Structure 1
Amino acid sequence: MKTIAELEARLGDLHVRTRETPLFNPVFQLSLDLSRALESGEISLDEVTGLVAALECEGLKARAGKLRRLLVPPADTPALADAEEDFETFCARWERPQLNAVFTAHPTFLLAPAQAAAVAEAASAADGIDESLCAAPTGRKPVTLAFEHGEAMAAMARAQDARDAIVVRLLDEARNRWPDSWQAFRPLPFRFASWVGYDMDGRTDIGWHTSIAFRLSEKAERLARYTASLEAIDAEHPLLGTLRPATIFAKERAEDFAGDLSSAEALATAANRLTAHSADNLLTLAPLIAALEEEAETAEAPRAARLLTLAAAMRADGLGMGWIHFRVNAKQLHNAIRRRLPEGEVIDLASKGALATLRRMVEEAAPLRTNFAALATESSTAIRQFIAMAQILKHIDADAPVRMLVAECEQPATVLAALYFAKLFGVEDKVDVSPLFETETALEHGGRFLDALLAEPAYRDYARLRGRVAVQTGFSDAGRFVGQIPASLAIERLQGRLAEAMAANGLTDVAALVFNTHGESMGRGAHPASFRDRLEWPLSPWARRRFARAGIRLEPEVSFQGGDGYLFFATPELALATLTRIAELRPAETDLAAPADPFYHRTDLSLDFYRAIKEHQSDHLASRTYARAVTAFGLGLLNPTGSRVSRRQSDINADREMSLRQIRAIPHNAILQQLGYPVNVIAGIGSAAEANREEIAALLTESPRGRQIMRLALASNALASIKTVAAFGELFNSAYWASRTYRGTEDHLADSCAALAEYLVGDDRTGVFRRLASRLRIDALKFHKLTDLLPGDAPDKNREHVRRRIGVLQALRLALLQHMFLKVVAVPAFSRANDISRRDVIEMVLTLRVEEALAQLRRAFPVRVPGPRDFPLEEPSDYPDGGEEGYGAIERDFINPIARAHELSLRISTAIANEFGAHG
């Protein structure tokens, strides 16, 4: 079994045996076959590396194929202009964004940069996906904030170019159909934003000067791009005299703030250079936009179109690569507002008294001037963010508004606290405060939250000042704590409640900006079936119709998260395809004449279905079994994928007591992928339908939303394997290790297997995984009974091949983990040092804290020890006569194999994530 084909064939044969022995586990048996071959020398780690590389290649091709399938034009590609519409209707549609796209830095930079580039090129290529993308180097460097920011800016630059191409297409359409009016058209089909470098929720490693430096560098980059665009139109254009020095000024100021500002003198120098009045410090593009559009009125059509395209880009992006989103946590705002309360006053932010107090504070707030010294010396994170916004608006870009996202926002008073600070620092007319609804509590009580908030006169005045009500709905913690499908339906209901609350409080004259921060994978909110599903899943046609019927203009916004999301913009071809698909689907619009969806009328069925899935998911989350299984390896199955490092507790036994709330949503979902079953997507559907399966099946068949739900669940189930979940538990089965050499087949492993058997005799993980697998199997049987009643497309012939490939990946990893376990228990005893014993090192490896274990082993067994040659003495010595090589054999026989097996295990993690189409 030295080829992938042989391994897949063997796995297929093993699957047949489950007919006669239902508890037989083909995945674990294949891992045992591989483990025996590896430990006997029949197969080497070099050969395993070749197998992993081949499977990596298949994963990369699968990733590129999924990306291409999402973006390929449908057979009935719609036009950007309706045949019967007039010029006014056309302008109304395209002079406001169909979508705002936010480039976030969630930790999903799974692929090595060369691999990501290869996947993107393969997905973009006209001649199909071949083996060439597999030659990309797999080398990874630590993901830094600067790297994430650079990647975000590169993706946004390609998105800008793609938007320009769509603007040209729209201008051509307008010129052809309305030749006398088209120059009055002001297209703005998309806006872009980023929070990379501005998101302080859960981070302490981003200084205020980091955000200022990033904003200045973005200004310099965007001005350089505007300059290049105008030079391409006219190398002698008079506006270049404004753009060129402004670009240089912004670049120099960015360098100032990227330097060492630890001393008061350095800070003062950087700040004074920025704040001193300079004609080169361009703070608004309004005069340039007006000049370009005025020139276009009398220019020849080709030149006019290019001038209008540049003006459209300036109107969309302002003096940056896009708009920016700051983010803080509600607790940070609560701590900050308590500092501003009248002396001796204490408030409960959940009380009506708090609303009254904050309402008065907002009314009475008088703007305070600030400078960079105030920013540098402020200790409160929330206040510091507001001062940073004030400095950006005052000294970098006076036009582009700033979003203030408030995570874990569960009280209306929190929003009023944010409004108070916005007014206190003079930015209330430029800052959109946006509460995030993501936790179970926020979703459950979000309707009442919105009713109370929108009833506040201070908030209504603010919303009219800004022209919008902004909210954020997150699929991250929501999908983790209540399950992905219940989360999506709860978010949908909350969006409907927003439309109701705006109508009830007379706010139909402002827009509803709904920001959906979903990730790219099916476990985190992005629907994998099609781009239509991807756009409709977080903001459904039903929710859109609620706003349309209330006469409320909708501003939809979605995120493209980290390395996974940026792939949609990783080449010019992909960026254009992505924006073209979105433009054709028009997510800001809805069809009021569409037939009613029975999912929303048969609430006797759909509401019970939703509640039952949510309850099932909640049971998993509350279960010690589920928590222990998910945390059984800590985060050791995962590659580091972002600049926000997941810290582990120093206690050796910490993983045994790790809470699910210590693991963020992305690694939580990623662990489920690696264990083989996306519980937060699939679990509960079958059980929820059990009581009235035929009626639920009929509803899901008749309902567009119901079919969309099942497309998500079936896509996830097509990659899932409960046998794999159970197989991980067998690694910790003391009886397995005690019995492995029972017949004398592996005598050379007898001592190691006996040591593992004795070590694991009290370990709980085998039982945990078995119980979890049993629960999942019971629910899965009910799921399959439900899906049997649904009309299905022709079976996907490739499905079983993909499942088999993932099974081989899992078996290879299980064999590598066994190799690591066998090696670590065979390491010779060493003296306890730094309170770390040999037993501690074994526990580290068994919980996949491998880097820590290897560090301890290298400390205990140095390859070279100091010797006489290290001392410049004149007197000769014949001792020591055994050399100074230290513990080279330990390094060769134990440390290096463990390190290499761990590295291969992480490469397998990447390959499995590629089969799912994203990380977490």
Structure 2
Amino acid sequence: MVHPTKTAATSAITTDAFRDSEKKILPGACDLRDELADRLVLFQREARENHLQSPTRRMALHVSCLAQDGQVSVSDLSDLVRLLTINAFKYRSERLRAYVGEIDRERNEATLRTLFQDLACQDGKTVSFDAFKARVEREVFGIVITAHPTFTVSQDLTCAEATLAAGRGVDGVPLSSADLDALVRTIAEKPHGTPDQIGLDDEQRFALMAIGNIHKALRRIYAVVFDVARDLYPDQWQTLTPRLLTVASWVGYDLDGRADIRWSDSLSMRMDVERLALEGYLHSLADIGGAEVAPAQAMLQTALDNLAADMERLKLNPDNADEVGAFSRTLSASLEHRLVNIAQVTDMLTNAINGGAAKTAELAVLRAEMANFGLAFAHTHMRINATQLTNAVRHDIDITTSPEDPANRRRYLVEISALLDKVQPVKINFGTMMNERATAKRVFMLVAKFLKYVDAAEPVRFLIAECNTPFTVLTALYFAKLFGVADKIDISPLFETGVALDQGHEIIAELLKNPTYVDYVKTRGRICMQTGFSDAGRYIGQVPASLAIERIRIKLAKSMQKSGVDGVDLLIFDTHGESIGRGAHPLSFADRLDYTYPPHARACFKNAGIHVKQEVSFQGGDGYVYFSHPDLAFATVCRLIEHALSEPKNTGSLDVFYEDTDYSLDYFMTVKGFNERLMENANYAATLNLFGTNLLYPTGSRKVKRQHEGGAQVDLEHPSQVRAIPHNAILQQLGYFSNTISGHGKAMAKDLDRFVEIFQLSDRCRRFTAMVAFARHLSNLDALHGYVSLFDPAIWLRRAAIEPNAKRAEQMQTLANMLRHSSRHEKVNRVYRIFLNDTLYLDQGLKAVGADQMLPELVDECYPDLLLLHAVRIALIHEMFLIVARLPKFSDRYDTSSDDLVNELLNLDVEHALGVLRQAFPVSGVPADAKAFGEESTYRTGDERGYEKEHRELFEPLEQLYDLTRRISIAVAHMSGAVG
């Protein structure tokens, strides 16, 4: 339920204590920050009396003047940015703590104990052991660890954020003043972003750290289950194998839109996941001790030793037949004595438990962990996209158009069904996989090798991005059968495009008419699907995407009930997507989960008698932070379990949003239409390209643009060609969360009185309105206009007219002449006017329902610093642009022209431009060798003398200022909640 009134954050660290630590490190920056904050208040007061006044631009000009007059140096501004980043980091940690809720370990265990006791009770009586067993041994929730470019800060700083939020060390001891000082110093000194590219191995290490803490949390949960069961069922409790929550990962297995992950990389990462599982099991057995577990220890240790040798041999060239052949022969020879099923070990633990081992409870917990995870630290999610599957099946079916083509759609379905009817499994080896060029086929082959050589019992999820037709799912099933893995693989279409959001339930319904597919899901016992909030959220807006996905759920409950597939569960994996950062809803975990999977949809499935397992993604460092401290991880897992085991509220007859379908549909279509028109507006593409992703540090191993099968990049000409996360990150850095708030002003204004009525009577409406209100609070149109105005030649000319420094005034005139030939300002200003008009309506609607009262008080804490960050960055870009106006011209002999270089720099593509400039103007010359030319020369050309002055006065300051602008981006991301 959305908070009805503002609530204060329960911060583990007081603001005064934190500020004292800051002053010890950055005393001058603290004074400068306070001075600028006071000046900002003055500018804001003046702006209330003069609608032409811009507080952000005034502050940017003020900072520029301070720098020009020598009152602040670049070093001073760097310290100021450090301080504001520390403050933003503290704010982010406070939001994290408030978001997760109760973190105390003992209190969370007590809550779980009550929850499981209630699970064992019905109508005031204790249920049978079999009934309790069925409830706790069923999977009800899943965590999926995903990656992508969402690693805003390093693993060390993410752990520091989690520690600050928890208010205690990893040992559970509360932080002392000395601990806090050390933590603040770490936060201040470590870079909050880096120009270095983040690699897949970095992401894997980070992911495995998070998964390790999830395992610790699950062991505590299992221990509570056994503790409750031992009291209620003293003669049977030890036979339980609780499941409840699963953990999976797609790090290293996600091949959607990228061609840089080789089959050997994925296999190596899967073996690394097995290694951690084996090491964890051995560590637990060592703690338990006793002769009873010695056989299990010996078996696991042998498996670990063999695995280490396999991983060493896997350091090969995956395209070298001799090396791959040697590796393959060794694996094949080991199969007879290879451990590929954890049941051999769990049987040993069962014997020890039944034999009266000393630490029965600890053994039961370990057995549950082994049974749930097998030979994997986390379950495996493979992912490709629909196009890759279509390309792979072209040799088997005469595909001449898109599988969605209405003229051929039916024929394609008939032909793929015919293939399914007659498919026979084939045998493959590593040579087959090495020579296969089609990614989709190679992935199925890789799954076959996982099952054969790593874990024969582990279910593998097969996710298909951009799935718009049943043909794609049936194609995946065909390859699963062809390569003999259909009995262990769960095919999961991802519904995220406009077509899929409209027809997702129909796609599943049509699949359920295919006998082969029905047999397949009955064998697996589940239908799987994935919903994507990321791409959907930018195509049609975050709230319409959520409503469209909910509509799929509600209609799917009806179609599954009619289909006759009794006893088949439904698994829905939500990748959440961005709103105000990664995580679907910014207020709390309760709001996050109810926003993603609304109570009304939950009630629909319950009424239809369909068991739903909900899975959600925790993506990159912005998602892993919840699992970067043991107590925080336990608290997070507790929130997920509490939600999954709670009874859904049947809101259909009480929530007017579902009853007044005319109004809710009109609201949906208005917001959806607004965002669709915006996406097709060429001026919106120009807005995103104002600086593009050049304000951002690299935040992941995956490219910001999609890759073709061969690795070629797609040109950035339309918003849809930029991935969802960088798209949303660009909006965040420009100061306006368009993907969350655009269109709502128009929708509210259509019938404001009715909107107020719906808001008051609808839990669903209040929840998404709270998200919109939060995004509006962090959005600042004045800041956006400040960035737009950077490209207005008239403003530069007006500024030159009052500039007392003649040289600086001349640079402003030069810059204005550079900008007057571009239409960039006019294009982006048109989009600014669209946003401004819609926001006026939005502010009226939010004020009418008192939406600000739903936000926690802590949202106000970051606002002055957020405005300062935008203003300081605009001031820095001012100075960078004036340096651009001073750059020397050069001939077009460096694969680019001077004009192209200027355009790059005005787009802040500084790294590439500086590379060209340093090549064109070397810092030190190389004089001609007199001996080589047979005579002496006392004259030195420009290239021979070198360009040390240009480097010192132009190139180095440009690089320094650019780094500061990107450091500010990290602070803005902290306040927004994530990079996207």
- TM bin (shorter chain): over 0.9
Question: Is 1:103 matched with 2:145?
Answer: yes
Q: 1:45 aligns with which of 61, 71, 74?
A: 74
What does 1:759-908 correspond to in 2, within 5 Å? 759-791=818-850, 793=853, 798-867=858-927, 886-908=946-968
Tell me the amino acid that sits aligned with residue 143 of structure 1.
I
Partner of 1:474: 532
2:543 alignment counterpart: 485
* 1:719 to 2:778 alignment: yes
**Two-structure CA RMSD over aligned residues (Å):** 2.8
User: Which residue of 388, 403, 406 maps to 1:332?
Assistant: 388
Separation in structure 1 between the aligned mates of residue 602 and residue 315 of structure 2, nearest angstrom: 43
Determine helix, strand or coil for the equivalent of 2:380.
Answer: strand
Match of 2:560 in 1: 502
Partner of 2:166: 124
Give identity over the alignment, percent: 36
Deviation at 1:420, TM superposition (A): 0.6
Equivalence for 1:233: 288
Deviations along 1:622-676, one digit per CA (max 9) or x if unpaired, are 2222221122112111111011133699xxxx99973112211000100111010
1:574-589 alignment to 2 at 5 Å? 574-586=632-644
1:497 positional shift: 1.9
* Structure 2 CA distance for aligned equivalents of residues 342 and 758 of structure 1: 57
Question: Which structure 2 residue ranges, 5 or more long, are not aligned?
Answer: 1-28, 169-173, 708-712
CA shift, 1:161, in A, is 1.3
Match of 1:156 among 178, 200, 211: 211
1:869–1:913 CA distance, 2 compared to 1 (3 A): farther
In 2, distance between residues paired with 1:712 and 1:500?
29
Cα drift, residue 522 of structure 1: 2.6
Who is 2:24 aligned against? Answer: none
Which residue matches 2:44? 15
- In the alignment, the residues of structure 1 paired with residue 754 and residue 804 of structure 2 have an alpha-carbon distance, to the nearest angstrom, of 56
After superposition, residues 18-29 of structure 1 pair within 5 angstroms as 18-29=47-58
More divergent stretch after superposition (724-733 vs 83-92): 83-92
TM-score by length of 2: 0.89
Classify the secondary structure of the residue corresponding to 2:319.
coil
1:403 and 2:445 are equivalent in the alignment = no
Alpha carbons of 1:207 and 1:12: their partners in 2 closer, same or farther (altered >3 Å)? same
Question: Aligned partners of 2:685, 2:725: CA distance in 1, in Å?
Answer: 15
- Aligned positions of 1:584-663 closer than 5 A: 584-586=642-644, 590-591=648-649, 596-646=654-704, 658-663=717-722
Separation in 2, partners of 1:345, 1:791: 52
1:166-223: CA deviations, max 9, x gaps?
1111111111222222112211121111111111111000111111111112112211
- Residue from 171, 190, 194 that aligns with 1:137: 190
2:366 to 306, 310, 320: 310
Structure 1 letter corresponding to 2:825: T
Residue 242 of structure 1 corresponds to 299
Shift of 1:50: 0.9
Structure 2 match to 1:560: 618
Consecutive unaligned residues in structure 1, runs of 5 or more: none
- 2:154 matches 1:112: yes
| Residue matched to 2:340 | 283
- The answer to whether residue 418 in structure 2 is matched with residue 383 in structure 1 is no
The one-letter code matched in structure 2 to 1:786 is: G
Counterpart for residue 223 of structure 1: 278
Aligned residue identity for 1:386:
F
CA distance in 2, matches of 1:803, 1:448: 45
User: 1:543, 1:389 → 2: CA distance?
Assistant: 34
Could you say what secondary structure the match of 1:242 adopts?
Answer: helix
SS state of the match for residue 239, structure 1? Answer: helix
Distance 1:817 1:680, change over 3 A: same
Correspondence for 1:201: 256
In structure 2, the CA distance between the partners of 1:886 and 1:509, relative to structure 1 (3 Å rule), is same
Quote the Cα distance in structure 2 between the aligned partners of 1:588 and 1:794.
24
Structure 1 226/480 Cα, relative in aligned 2: closer, same or farther at 3 Å? same
Cα distance between partner residues in 2 of 1:424 and 1:373: 17
- After superposition, residues 159-174 of structure 1 pair within 5 angstroms as 159-174=214-229
- Is contact 1:434–1:472 with CA below 8 Å preserved after alignment? yes
Moved more, 133-142 or 42-51: 133-142
2: distance between equivalents of 1:876 and 1:745? Answer: 49
Q: CA deviation at 1:904?
A: 0.5
**For residues 255 and 521 of structure 1, what CA distance do their matches in structure 2 show?**
43
8 Å CA contact 1:632–1:655 kept in 2: the answer is no
Q: Find the residue that maps to 1:406 and give its secondary structure.
A: strand
Match of 1:80 in 2: 115
Q: CA deviation at 1:117?
A: 2.6
What letter corresponds to residue 113 of structure 1 in structure 2? Q
Paired residue for 2:19? none
- The 1:332/1:560 distance shift into structure 2, 3 A limit, reads same
In 1, the alpha carbon distance for the partners of 2:483 and 2:716 equals 45
CA distance in 1, matches of 2:354, 2:648: 33
Quote how far apart the aligned CAs of 1:3 are: 0.8
Match of 1:729 in 2: 788
Decide whether the 8 Å contact of 1:192 with 1:323 is kept in 2: yes
d(CA) in 2 for partners of 1:520, 1:509: 34
Match of 2:331 in 1: 274
Question: Structure with the greater relative contact order (CA < 8 A, sep ≥ 6): 1 or 2?
Answer: 2
**Shift in alpha-carbon separation, 1:65–1:368, aligned structure 2, 3 A:** same
Query: Are 2:103 and 1:93 aligned?
Result: no
Distance 1:521 1:149, change over 3 A: farther
Q: 1:25-56: per-residue Cα shift (whole Å, max 9, x none)?
A: 11011111112222343321111101100101
Deviation, structure 1 residue 693 = 1.2
One-letter amino acid matched to 2:204:
H
The 1-side partners of 2:258 and 2:767 are apart by: 36
Q: Give the Cα separation in 2 of the matches to 1:291 and 1:796.
A: 52
AA aligned opposite 1:918? A
Residue 767 (structure 1) shift: 2.6
AA paired with 2:395?
A: R
Indicate the residue corresponding to 2:495 in structure 1: 437
Contact 1:470 1:513 in 2 (8 A): yes
1:739 counterpart = 2:774: no
Paired residues of 2:494 and 2:530 also in contact (CA < 8 A): yes
- Rounded to whole Å, the distance in 2 between the matches of 1:679 and 1:346 is 32
- Offset at 1:150? 1.4
Q: Give SS of 2:555's match.
A: helix
Distance 1:547 1:132 in 2: 51
* Alignment check: 8 A CA contact 1:349 1:411 kept: no
Larger deviation: 411-420 or 522-531?
522-531
| Compared CA separation, residues 471 and 881, structure 1 to 2 (3 A) | closer
| Cα pair 1:283 1:396 within 8 Å, conserved | yes
1:263 is aligned, of 316, 320, 329, to 320
Residues 525 and 450 of structure 1: CA distance in aligned 2, closer, same or farther (over 3 Å): farther
Contact 1:227 1:240 in 2 (8 A): yes
Residues in 1 aligned to 2:721 and 2:578: alpha-carbon distance in whole angstroms: 22
Q: 1:757 to 1:876 in 2, by over 3 A?
A: closer
**1:844 aligns to what SS in structure 2?**
helix
Greater CA drift, 303-312 or 598-607? 598-607
